[in-house]
Structure 1
Amino acid sequence: MSAYRIAANKLRTTSILSVRTESPTVTTFTFKDRECARAKPGQFLMLWIPGVDEIPLSILDVGEDGAVSVTVKKVGEATEALHRMKAGDFVGVRGPFGNSFTRKKGKILIVGGGTGMAPLWFLVKRLLPDVERLVFVMGAKTEDELLFMDGLKKMLIGGNRQLVATTEDGSCGITGLCTEPLDRLLTNERFDMVYTCGPEPMIRKVFELAEKCEVSFEASLERLMRCAIGLCGSCVIGKYRVCRDGPIFTSKQLREVEAEFGSSKRDFDGKRIPL
């Protein structure tokens, strides 16, 4: 194991600097960590909630001052415990782990759904200075669940930048899923790369549209993760381990695991279960 991986895998303790509510069920936490401050868009970390559990989280942002942010949805015991924490409380950190998005220039299409917006926010900030055009399609069930919308509106101002919002209940933007505007966008304009993160059935649909239009594609996948360094195998998809070979996968890699991609994952016992 490389010196970098050994350093990244060492558990460090740090205090929470700030807590920001994003929606009724989603909160962003910021802290300092020297190793994670070196992270690239798409990488993840393991956050330990003392006395409860350790969970994998995509890195939302790394500030110029080295502050690291993660955005967490309340979905179970560990995330509920984390949501009760406040500035000054201590957590444990390992990481950053995994690979990162390929930074492309030219015309870029980004598609995000739910808390899958987190790594895409980090990606947009790094891409904007160099791209020719950037279109960001974001989706959620309701307007309250459209994460980082105000910040994206400020970043995506200008003739070569566009933000498209969709909600399932029609409370904001286009009514329907965030995949619905994609066919038109990909038909009317030639993009150099499509990036996506969100619920896996959504990612599968974006993948199929990108394949149809023969556009380069990268997706961030989520699986059950324990070790984060490729040893336990709990995050396997086909021949790949998401924590080590991903979490960013290309269209070529996803073609190799089409039997599982978008339809199933492994549970705590290693059994394949529907998504």
Structure 2
Amino acid sequence: MNKIINDYRILEIKEIISETDTIKTFIFDWEMEGNRIPKPGQFVMVWSFLRKKDEKPMSISKIDENNNQIAITLKNVGEFTNDLHNLTVGDKLGIRGPYGNGFEMEGDNILAIGGGVGMAPISCFVDQATDNGSNVDIVSASVTKNELLFLDRMKNSGANIFTCTDDGTCGFEGFATHRTIDLLESRSYDMAVVCGPEIMMKEIFNILEAKQIPAQYSMERYMKCAMGVCGQCCVDNTGWRICVEGPIFSTEDLKKITEFGKYHRDASGIKETF
């Protein structure tokens, strides 16, 4: 049985999947009960025994209610994630959550757009959407072929995958924006879901808005408490907390967030432009 300490679940790593040279997926047993049943688009806070003073938000990349398991997928980009990448099956992590809101299903024909490790929450949504009988087209973008995520899993779900890579090693040569424009010339959608670098999402926002396709976007900001107390992840001009009012925002919501696609803030609150 999972041990719970101060809202943390001390979970044993059941499986580790090396998705790419820099990205791994960690699978844990998870008791699906009440408000602890995750929704696609939500995240958890992860605490490492190797770095006891620190914790980070991680998107949930898979929800398996049949087997009572969840997964998180993370890229090795710094000291914290490097520590996690050195863990093995049987090691333990502290996890609390899930937090934030999730994607909402609207319509039968859906476009899902993911850039890089942004495919983590997107893949989770696609699982649910295809299970519900929706038709899903996926734009999966990365720098190169070896960085594309979850292709086999998405194909097995019944979704249609349209890959694009910066270097042209798989599928369309170009960015997610180019691939989306290309698709919209011959296809229409009831809604879209988007996750990736914010500069990419801003351009996708402009494309989908011009086509009047309602969309939901997964935002990322520096988080500390994940419960809306510290205010670290508030955005201009609304003051919305990404950890509570987000991380999923609609098209109409993003029109009110003046910093979207322009800047974010570091741990000390200083603006950093994209």
TM-score using structure 2 length: 0.92
Q: In the TM superposition, what is the alpha-carbon distance from 1:221 to its structure 2 partner?
A: 0.8
Distance change in 2, residues 1:168/1:8 (3 Å): farther
Q: In the TM superposition, what is the alpha-carbon distance from 1:130 to its structure 2 partner?
A: 3.2
Give every structure 1 segment of 4 or more consecutive aligned residues whose post-TM-superposition deviation is greater than 2 Å.
Answer: 33-37, 129-133, 153-156, 184-190
Match of 1:133 in 2: 135
Q: In the TM superposition, what is the alpha-carbon distance from 1:168 to its structure 2 partner?
A: 0.3
Match of 2:47 in 1: 48
Distance change in 2, residues 1:87/1:31 (3 Å): same
Q: In the TM superposition, what is the alpha-carbon distance from 1:134 to its structure 2 partner?
A: 1.6
Summarize deviations over 1:139-185 as a string: whole Å, max 9, x none.
000000001112222223xxxx4210000011100101011021232
Aligned length: 264
Distance change in 2, residues 1:82/1:154 (3 Å): same
Q: How do residues 58-137 of structure 1 correspond to structure 2 at under 5 angstroms?
A: 58-63=59-64, 64-137=66-139
SS of the residue 1:116 aligns to: helix
State percent identity of aligned pairs: 36
Alpha-carbon distance in 2 for matches of 1:117, 1:8: 31
SS of the residue 1:65 aligns to: coil
SS of the residue 1:134 aligns to: strand
Q: In the TM superposition, what is the alpha-carbon distance from 1:34 to its structure 2 partner?
A: 2.3
Match of 1:241 in 2: 241
Alpha-carbon distance in 2 for matches of 1:11, 1:37: 12
Distance change in 2, residues 1:29/1:270 (3 Å): same
Match of 1:224 in 2: 222
Alpha-carbon distance in 1 for matches of 2:6, 2:216: 25
Distance change in 2, residues 1:90/1:252 (3 Å): same
What letter corresponds to residue 174 of structure 1 in structure 2? F
Match of 1:256 in 2: 256
2:22 to 4, 22, 25: 25
Summarize deviations over 1:8-41 as a string: whole Å, max 9, x none.
9711211111111000000000112326861010
Distance change in 2, residues 1:8/1:138 (3 Å): farther
Q: In the TM superposition, what is the alpha-carbon distance from 1:131 to its structure 2 partner?
A: 4.3
What letter corresponds to residue 40 of structure 2 in structure 1? P
What letter corresponds to residue 267 of structure 1 in structure 2? D
Q: In the TM superposition, what is the alpha-carbon distance from 1:132 to its structure 2 partner?
A: 4.7
What letter corresponds to residue 179 of structure 2 in structure 1? P
Match of 1:271 in 2: 270
Q: In the TM superposition, what is the alpha-carbon distance from 1:121 to its structure 2 partner?
A: 0.8
Alpha-carbon distance in 2 for matches of 1:183, 1:142: 20
SS of the residue 1:256 aligns to: coil
